[in-house]
Amino acid sequence: MARPPARDLTERELEVMHVFWSGGEATAAGARDRLEANGLARTYATIANLVRGLHEKGFLEQVNAERPFVYRATRTFEEVSGRLVGDLVSRVFRGSRARLLKALVDDRKLTAEERAVLEEILKEAKR
């Protein structure tokens, strides 16, 4: 029996999704070019296969009927990252967001920017 397609994204698939989240619609060749411009050299065949897989998983949709096919993200960064973080909290930290936060700040000192963001989040939570 064939295994159903994974709903999680691989590291390479996430690289490709960032192209679509930051730059909008693209062809597989356009996605490859954007990745290369950001220092991630991948072959066209690799990116075309990743784009095809992301389309099959429902993360990308094809927006035209003729070649070269143009794709766009069907799920936002916030949707995908929220689910991934929720899964991380559930699986690794057994549902404890406090343990996740402790792990994040115990690892190294917070920068001034990180401290300001955290303080802003806490102020918003009090309201």
Separation between Cα atoms, residue 20 and residue 86, nearest integer Å:
22
Which domain-ending residue is among 73, 88, 107?
73
Is 62 in the same domain as 40? Answer: yes
Closest CA to 55 of 4, 13, 2, 1: 13
Domain final residue, candidates 52, 73, 94: 73
Among the three residues 41, 57, 73, which one is the final residue of a domain in this structure?
Answer: 73
pTM: 0.83
Same domain, 16 and 58: yes
Write the burial class of residue 20 (CB in 10 Å: 0-12 exposed, 13-18 middle, 19+ buried): buried
User: In this predicted model, what pLDDT tens digit does every residue of 60-108 receive, in sequence order?
Assistant: 999 999 999 999 999 999 999 999 999 999 999 999 999 998 998 887 8
C-alpha distances in Å from residue 115, one per residue of 69, 87, 89: 44, 25, 21
Rounded to the nearest integer, the mean pLDDT of the chain is 92
Torsional sign, CA 123, 93, 104, 85: negative
Q: How many domains does the chain have?
A: 2
Q: What is the pLDDT of residue 3?
A: 47
Does 91 map to a domain? yes
Please state, in angstroms and rounded to a whole number, the distance separating the CA atoms of residues 48 and 95. Answer: 37
